[in-house]
Structure 1
Amino acid sequence: MRVNPVFLSLIVLSLCFGCAEKSEKSKQILVKNTLNIDRSAETVSLDLNSLDLMGETVNLDALGIVDAETQKSLVVQVVDSDSDGTLDALLFQPEVKALSEKTFKVVQRDSMSLEIEDRCYSRFVPERTDDYAWENDRVAFRTYGPTAQKMVEDGVKGGTLSSGIDAWLKRVDYPIINKWYKKELETDGSYHKDTGEGLDNFHVGPSRGVGGTAVKVDTTYYTSRNYVSWKTLYNGPIRTSFILNYATWDAAGNQISEEKHISLDYGSNLSRFEIKVNGIDTLSAGLTLHENDGEVAINEEKSWLSYWEPHEDSELGTGIVVPKGTMIGHEHYVTDKADESNLFAHLKVADQKVVYYAGFSWKKSGQFETKKAWEDYLGDFAEKINSPLEVVVK
């Protein structure tokens, strides 16, 4: 069932904001980086309640963040983070050097704000059966809905039966989802051929693709079928967020219910998965092994898994990063059954929830040229999620 996205305020502040800033009401935001790693393309979510805006006449369309030292304005996004119909969080991405801190100011402009492109974007795709697709400036993904499942069950050509996550291998930093679907469905071209922007040549089948879930009982992995409903929460310059629900499914007598809240931030190769799950105390997230000709790497200390494989005329890295203390095991699962070999991270379910990050990098995109570079990225990503930027409102 389609749900209209919540309205967002997308703001780019003018560099010359001095005359518009209401200094007597501005709040200072101290952002501290405790790691010996420079931080960028990392989202801070600021609770609007922490800004003490209640009772004031505030135009959220003109709310923004400015670097207190350089006077440089940042791109921000105001969102309804809990989907209750009220805007409640301000998102921005500061750049903070290793072991340092930076001060920002919250400002209110009198002039009209400017909208910018939704660089982080997701949508239901009814024109291509019922895909759900999402992307940012670096990567793109999709998964499959109930119509695609029914087509397979009814023997109709063109269906897909899978709850795995597909990877679209883009090599440009601008949005391609709408363009590629139009190319595939309305022209003689195809998104299966690379004409400079990338292509879809990543095979999923019944595998877990890039971060699909499964439940292991004894020696067997069980999976859900396609999602049954979707809800777009928001799109914007910093983050896209949506929810997929799945019909209750059976895992050797265990009745599993599953809801996936997925988000993707600007500058990140990894989607964030927050899974609400009932009926089991361990959930597994997987990476397809395709032809089993790649290299597996596992870092238990930092809780990440990686698979680096040859991919047609290039190479491809996939990965899963798990918050510290929640990965309770892993398995390099190889079978003779087609598309069922996966690298699994076993995740502890706490309060009916698990959180993990999953994504990929294609060598042809120019983002990560080697297996080591990809694994270094996963290691840094793990450090960052386990030691988030510290934020104080003054």
Structure 2
Amino acid sequence: MKFIKSFFAIAFILPMFIFAQTKKNITIQNNSALDRKETIVSIKWETILLHYPQIDTTGFVVINSVTKKQIPFQLEHRGNKTIQNLLVQVDVKAKSTLSLLIQKGKPEIFVAKTYARYVPERKDDFAWENDKIAFRAYGKALENTKENAFGFDVWVKRTDRLILNERYKRNEYHIDHGDGMDYYHVGFSLGAGNMAPYVNDSIYYSANYRQWKVLDNGPLRSTFQLTYAAWNAGGINVKATKTISLDAGSQLNKIENVYSFEGDKPLPVVVGIIKRPENGTIALNEKQGIMGYWEPTHGADGTTGVGSILTTPLSNMMVTNKQILAKTEVKNNTPIVYYTGAAWDKAGKITDAKQWQNYLNNFYQQINEPLIINVK
């Protein structure tokens, strides 16, 4: 009898032991001296499947292993039918490690924090936002009108709600109704960090975008592509596709541009920020590729900070009468990645030039000291 009881005890304990042994932890390690707040972490879906082969994409939750609370997540497709990445939004203190678990369960409904859409009712605008800031690019229908502009536009916000649809429905962008407004001027410039060929000391602007495609639309990251028709850049025939991502919690977009052009030589390009006639604060760091601008205050509308961070070596940075430019080069059909965005003092988070430059410097550090992810 003792043998039989022992056998059944072992038979009962063994599955529990096996389950415990197969339980996986996702560790997110922050080796930097910066706290990482509201950070979006991307984990390859093939890695998740390797460790969780039976995962039900409609019935799992991500848990903080210490607090036991659910973590917001998104299944990222990047325009594909199959899942490419698992995105999670986390806080990880400096020099520390966060542990997450994946288990069966009903995910909580987390508020969407990013959004992007084509806006046919406003002359082919393409607009996008997160819980911090909003932007738009201009489409074909705006060409040959007095409103036409070439660069990226900024819509400042002082709410974490998604407000694009409300503003377009109201058809009034230039008055702050308590959530922000559009007072940023783009005109014949690169606006808030657009990129264009720079040949023989001249910028060659494309026409406005011709095609759009949404690859993912929140809740934590929205990604889309804008395609531009061929144009003549100082005797070079050029085409461009721009893939833009905006993460929840971030002031900056990630932009991946692919230029197609004739010839074997790299194409010189610039990232530009429009400069105002009045005095603002300009901070340039050629070595690290950081270009920061704290605009002059625009009356009662407040102050906008604009900045770009390039990830490729620069030949130089320039300040002209009209724009602040960072010059680099691209290879034919080879992606070039950089970051660009803005902040508004009335949002109450970044309220002066020093804070804006600190934000850009910290963002640069985060790019170069990424969080380390392990599933074990």
Per the alignment, residue 328 of structure 2 pairs with: 347
Counterparts of 1:71 and 1:386, CA distance in 2: 31
Q: Which amino acid aligns with 2:175?
A: K
Per the alignment, residue 297 of structure 1 pairs with: 283
Counterparts of 1:49 and 1:312, CA distance in 2: 49
Counterparts of 1:212 and 1:237, CA distance in 2: 25
Counterparts of 1:55 and 1:46, CA distance in 2: 13
Q: Cα RMSD over matched residues?
A: 1.9
Per the alignment, residue 105 of structure 1 pairs with: 101
Q: Note if 1:264 corresponds to 2:267.
A: no
Q: Note if 1:27 corresponds to 2:8.
A: no
Per the alignment, residue 307 of structure 1 pairs with: 293
Per the alignment, residue 92 of structure 2 pairs with: 96
CA drift at 1:55: 9.1
Counterparts of 2:51 and 2:360, CA distance in 1: 40
Per the alignment, residue 139 of structure 2 pairs with: 145
CA drift at 1:218: 1.8
Contact 1:161 1:225 in 2 (8 A): no
Per the alignment, residue 282 of structure 1 pairs with: 268
Q: Note if 1:219 corresponds to 2:206.
A: no
**Normalising to structure 2: TM-score of the pair?**
0.88
Residues 67, 115 of structure 1: alpha-carbon distance in 2 compared, 3 angstrom cutoff? closer
Per the alignment, residue 169 of structure 1 pairs with: 156
Counterparts of 1:54 and 1:26, CA distance in 2: 9
Q: How does 1:1-394 map to 2 (within 5 A)?
A: 26-53=23-50, 56-81=53-78, 83-109=79-105, 111=106, 113-149=107-143, 152=144, 160-184=147-171, 190-279=172-261, 280-291=266-277, 293-313=279-299, 314-323=302-311, 325-334=312-321, 341-350=322-331, 352-394=334-376
Between the aligned residues of both structures, percent identity stands at 34
Return 5+ residue gaps in structure 2 as ranges: 1-18
Q: What do residues 254-298 of structure 1 show as CA deviations (whole Å, max 9, x unaligned)?
A: 111110000100110011110011234332111110325222111
Counterparts of 2:20 and 2:285, CA distance in 1: 48
Q: Which structure has greater helix proportion?
A: 2
Matched positions, count? 351
Counterparts of 2:48 and 2:85, CA distance in 1: 10
Return 5+ residue gaps in structure 1 as ranges: 1-21, 185-189, 335-340
Contact 1:117 1:236 in 2 (8 A): no
Contact 1:193 1:199 in 2 (8 A): yes
Counterparts of 1:23 and 1:308, CA distance in 2: 54
Task: Classify the secondary structure of the residue corresponding to 1:194.
Answer: coil
Counterparts of 2:65 and 2:325, CA distance in 1: 45
Task: Classify the secondary structure of the residue corresponding to 2:39.
Answer: coil
Counterparts of 1:26 and 1:146, CA distance in 2: 53
Structure ID, larger Rg: 2
Counterparts of 1:65 and 1:169, CA distance in 2: 32
Contact 2:40 2:247 in 1 (8 A): yes
CA drift at 1:331: 1.3
**Normalising to structure 1: TM-score of the pair?**
0.84
Counterparts of 1:171 and 1:133, CA distance in 2: 17
